[in-house]
Amino acid sequence: MKKIITLIFAGVLGLSLAFLIPQEPATPWQSIGGCGAGGSGGGAGDGIKWIGQGVSGGLLETEVFIKKGVGQNFSSFTLSPRFSFKPTWSSQLGVTVPFMSHQGEVQYRSNQTPTDRTTGGVGDLSFDFSQTIGSGGAASISLGLSIPTGQYDIKRGSDAANEILPASFQKGSGLYSATLGWNYSRDTDKGIWLYNLSYSHPFNVSFNGDNEFNDTYWKDYDTKNDDRFEYYFKGYGENDLGAYTPPSVSASIAYGYRGQANFVHSFGVNFSAPLGVAWISSEKVGEYDPRPDPDHKAWSMAFVYGLEFSNTDYPFFFAFSLPLHDKANPANPDDEYDESPMRAWNLPDMDDFLQQWTIAFGVKAAFL
């Protein structure tokens, strides 16, 4: 895995060298953002991005985010350090290493008793690169790549009844994911408007041509010459357990207000929609039985408030996110493999609105 990470990082660095255009940003807002790329599949997430003056000076920049998410029957904690440097004034290359913990109820079927589960550890690494375009420094493009370093087949239960936990409890997706983004900013008298469009495309790579679980989970299946089990590359987001993550598009708009000395207030909304229906794998170890995700969201939004204390050496950032999504349709009772109910776009799920939230705290520093 270390060799894989080294090769991918070298490829991203090589890509960045193709964009080396020495061009100093025209505004003090060049540090706005955060990772901004490298997501995997549909869903707006929490929509939280660092918006503020950032830090000045130093070759290496560190951004550390701590996030706590809470829902009606789950909670999560994430620590995400991001390290970045600027190959030129107009470009930035970064890597994010997420550490996470998930707690909540697991209920695979409505006729089963819910069970409390907990997981935690290192998630999927992500690399990101951004390049300012044009002479004014207002627009930029971003490229992101996440790699499957986090475990995605975590099991719980007795030796005789092990069950694979849902994707929301896993530390990784089992997939690579590439993200292309376009960013634009417009200064005002006391603030700035920020716009973003992005497209994420999950895919899968096998360096030996085999599904990772051919000799364990799928040993009772005839997988020979089946492209789902023996492959070097899948151009779509199906992992080795059979779970499928569709591509997704997202758009966001935010306003940062700097009319108060040493503070930057920001308000934003993020919208995301998957370009297809997500599928989940079987929870039973050794049984290959993917099916449409009954909790699939056809669209998602997140409303975000952020506040940066603009200390030039160690700025702090506080954010609060409130999600809103469409109401999931029940699965077809006659055919659980029918994904047509999940394709329908519905009105917002107001019963779940205000029942979920994410709070975040971040700090930045520059070194060398």
Domain at 101, CATH number: 2.40.160.40
> Looking at 16-30, 84-98, 123-137, which range is the least confident one?
16-30
pLDDT tens string 220-253: 999 888 999 999 999 999 999 999 999 999 999 9
What is the average pLDDT score of the chain?
86
Q: Is there a domain that residue 130 lies in?
A: yes
**In this structure, is residue 206 part of a structural domain?**
no
In a domain, residue 363? The reply is: yes
> What is the span of the domain harbouring residue 344?
2-201+212-223+245-367
Instruction: Give yes or no for residue 290 having a pLDDT over 70.
Output: yes
Q: What letter represents residue 56's amino acid?
A: S
Residue 71 CA neighbour count, 13 Å, CB half: 16
In a domain, 80, yes or no: yes
| Confidence check: pLDDT of 20 > 60 | no
Name the least confident of 13-17, 125-129, 210-214, 278-282. Answer: 13-17
For the chain, give the percent of residues with pLDDT over 70: 87
Render 223-290 in DSSP notation, one character per residue. -TT-TTTS-SEESS-B-TTS-B---EEEEEEEEEE--STTEEEEEEEEEEEESS--EE--SBTT----
Name residue 302's beta-bridge partners: 270, 323
Q: Total structural domains in the chain?
A: 1
- Inside any domain, residue 81: yes
Percent of the chain with pLDDT over 90: 70
238 occurs within a structural domain: no
Q: What's residue 50's pLDDT? A: 92
Chain segment 308-324, per-residue pLDDT in tens: 997 777 899 999 999 99
pLDDT for position 57: 67
**Structure confidence by residue, pLDDT tens digits, 43-81:** 348 999 999 887 766 788 999 999 999 998 899 999 999
Q: Quick one: pLDDT at residue 56?
A: 67
Report the chain's terminal Cα–Cα distance, integer Å. Answer: 29
Quickly count: other Cβ atoms within 10 Å of residue 189's Cβ: 6
247-276: pLDDT as tens digits? 999 999 999 999 898 899 999 999 999 999
10 alpha carbon, distance to own chain's centre: 22
pTM for this prediction: 0.85
Average pLDDT over residues 320-346: 92
Residue 340: in which H helix or E strand, if any?
helix 340-343
> Does residue 291 lie within any of the structural domains?
yes
